[in-house]
Amino acid sequence: MTFGQQPQGGNGYNQQPQNQYQYNAQQSYAYAPNGTAAINAQATYAFEEAQRISVTKAYGEMTIGLVITAVVAVLAQMSGAYVAFLQATGLIGFILFAVVQVGLAVFLGARIMTIKSSTARVMFYVYSALMGFTLSSIFMIYDLGSIGLALGICAAFFFVLTMFGMTTKINMLKAGPILFAGLVVLIVAELLLTFLFPGDTMLMVVSAIGLVLFAAMTVHDAQQTRAIFNEYAGYGPEMIKKVSIICALNLYLDFVNIFLYILQLLGNRD
């Protein structure tokens, strides 16, 4: 099952922004005298370099979140904390824990523009830790070899998807509403199938569909990350820090869900 959904709407992140600064620099380069052209060319280069650094920062935040998740998952498994939590709270505890996770992600996406970047970063790290606590349950279902294999395949697959998203001329931003609708349908279908048609066959079918959906969302979010930084490039360092957190959250959720679907498809159950 998917453990979180990507925050959408409200902040204009699904719109393809116009990079007026870069357009003007390139236009001036084409028609201005040589001295002005050289200055504008340098400005364009500086803008592109700043964009590259900003995108790298978003992926760096995502990586930190994944490391936190992995560490918490291992510690929770070794200490038996997650099992003890479920034994003490039962189904109610499981549901409340899931609601807290989803609520935290939605709140972060909705309030990113009104909170401090440091607060957003702490919330993202807390969310990553909560996810790790939940994911410690996979050690009770799958053997270590399967988990390691799924993680390696996921990392390679995610890298390829990201590179494709950054280099392809296909505009995946237009597919954002369709992908979000598909995510909602997938979550509802998983919940219904879990209770109405439990079984390995349906699990495999849903996992395959989920893997394809999140592969497309990874390409979309890679392009969206670059587009968001274009849009907010002139808003100052504090805004860039905020934007990097929300982009990191989107990419983080893509990675985690791809990992889980690969594990469900290829993993050997204990």
User: In the predicted model, is pLDDT for residue 134 greater than 60?
Assistant: yes
Are the beta carbons of 62 and 252 closer than 8 angstroms? yes
The per-residue pLDDT for range 59-84, each reduced to its tens digit, is: 999 999 999 999 999 999 999 898 89
Rounded to whole angstroms, the Cα distance separating 154 from 147 reads: 10
Are the beta carbons of 131 and 4 closer than 8 angstroms? yes
pLDDT of residue 8: 46
The per-residue pLDDT for range 21-43, each reduced to its tens digit, is: 333 433 443 444 555 555 555 54
List the alpha helices (DSSP H) in 80-199.
81-111, 117-135, 144-167, 176-196
Beta bridge pairs of residue 142: 269
More confident residue, 251 or 23: 251
Are the beta carbons of 135 and 263 closer than 8 angstroms? no
- Backbone φ and ψ of 74, nearest 5°: -65, -45
The per-residue pLDDT for range 153-193, each reduced to its tens digit, is: 999 999 999 999 988 888 998 888 999 999 999 988 888 87
- Backbone φ and ψ of 64, nearest 5°: -60, -45
**Contacts for 61 with CB less than 8 Å, ≥ 6 apart:** 121, 124, 244, 245, 247, 248
Are the beta carbons of 11 and 109 closer than 8 angstroms? yes
| Residue 246, number of CB atoms within 10 A of its CB | 24
Are the beta carbons of 108 and 123 closer than 8 angstroms? yes
Tell me the percentage of the chain whose pLDDT exceeds 70: 79
Rounded to whole angstroms, the Cα distance separating 36 from 42 reads: 10
Beta bridge pairs of residue 269: 142
Rounded to whole angstroms, the Cα distance separating 198 from 192 reads: 9
pLDDT of residue 95: 85
Instruction: Name the burial class of residue 161, with classes exposed (0-12), middle (13-18) and buried (19+) by CB atoms within 10 angstroms of its CB.
Output: buried
**Contacts for 110 with CB less than 8 Å, ≥ 6 apart:** 7, 10, 11
Mean of the pLDDT values across residues 89-106? 86
pLDDT of residue 18: 39
Sign (positive/negative) of CA torsion 134, 138, 144, 145?
A: negative
DSSP state at residue 6: -
In the chain, the amino acid numbered 139 is F
Mean pLDDT (the chain, rounded): 81
More confident residue, 102 or 197: 102
